[in-house]
Amino acid sequence: MTRRLGFGLLFGVLIATTAADAQFGGLIRKAGEAVKGATPPAPPPAAPQSAASALGCPVDDAAMDRLLKGMEAERAARDAALKEAASAKTEAQYGACQSELAAGPEMQKVMESLGSLPDNATPAQSQAAMEKFATAMSTLLTDKCGPPPSEARDQLNRKFTEAGKQASDCDARIQEHALRFCQLSPAEQASAQNGGVRVPGTGAKIFWVYTEAEARAYAPRCGQILSLTDALEKQGLQRQAASQD
């Protein structure tokens, strides 16, 4: 009797559990069907397109910081080259220095330090003496008169070229693009920052195109861009003047 009761009780529990499971499973199926029939949530808005579409280079904070740093480095390198060139003598000053040196005591000391060749000096001895004299004179001339003007100009031009090579191809393109933007009117700049803008360039069917992202990257840096560009242009004129002396 006890076993039957225990079995009957167990059977009843199993039936109740099965019924509950069936009801719970039905609820899950209905919930799943409801989810399947529901309208899916809208996807998040797409991220703005990169500003590299026209230039082939990304225009972002990192690119702009790199550009301004490069422009400042070029300005500093040019300034150092111009200061060095300014200390060099002109053709007239260099010629006068040479004449003064030839007649001065320094020349006599150089000649005395070289000694004299024997009367029976061989061609090799004569050649060695001449080379020693030329080296001593070149050293003295550089110490007293500085580099020849032509050499000073070559050094200036070479250092300007080296300073300009610090910029990458992307930096050069962004610099030109940003400069033209900063020369736009305030209204054009504002329009560019609110949807982009296209302004006429030089020539038929030629335009400067600015996306909104590019305009927003350039606008807060226009003061620095214009100031550094002005400084570099002035240095270019100083270089030209120095090369013509």
Residue 131 is predicted with a pLDDT of 85
Kindly give, in sequence order, each residue whose CB lies less than 8 Å from that of residue 66, ignoring residues fewer than 6 positions away: 171
In a domain, 26, yes or no: no
Residue 60 inside a domain? The answer is yes
According to DSSP, residue 118 is labeled: -
Neighbours of 239 (CB within 10 A): 19
Please tell me the predicted confidence (pLDDT) of residue 159.
94
pLDDT reported for residue 12: 39
C-alpha–C-alpha distance, residues 208 and 217, integer Å: 16
DSSP per-residue codes, 48-110: PPPTTTTTSS--SHHHHHHHHHHHHHHHHHHHHHHHHHHTSPPHHHHHHHHHHHHTSHHHHHH
Looking at the 3D structure of the chain, how many domains does it have?
1
Residue 67: per-residue pLDDT = 95
Task: Please check whether residue 174 lies inside any domain of the structure.
Answer: yes
Query: In terms of residue numbers, what domain contains 243?
Result: 54-74+168-245
Does residue 223 lie within any of the structural domains? Answer: yes
Average pLDDT, consecutive stretches of 10 residues, N- to C-terminus, the chain (245 residues): 36 37 42 46 45 76 95 96 91 89 81 73 83 83 87 93 87 95 96 93 87 96 97 95 79
The pLDDT assigned to 47 comes to: 37
In a domain, 233, yes or no: yes
Closest to 74 measured CA to CA, from 176, 173, 162: 162
CA-based nearest residue to 110, from 91, 88, 137, 83: 137
* CA-to-CA dists, residue 201 to 102, 206, 207, 222, angstroms: 60, 5, 5, 19
Which pair of structure tokens corresponds to residue 145? 């008169």
Q: What is the pTM of this model?
A: 0.65
Domain annotation covers residue 160: no
Model pLDDT, residue 142: 86
- Do the domain assignments include residue 67? yes
Q: Are 145 and 101 in contact (CB under 8 A)?
A: yes
pLDDT of 172 reads 92
Would 235 be classed as within a structural domain?
A: yes
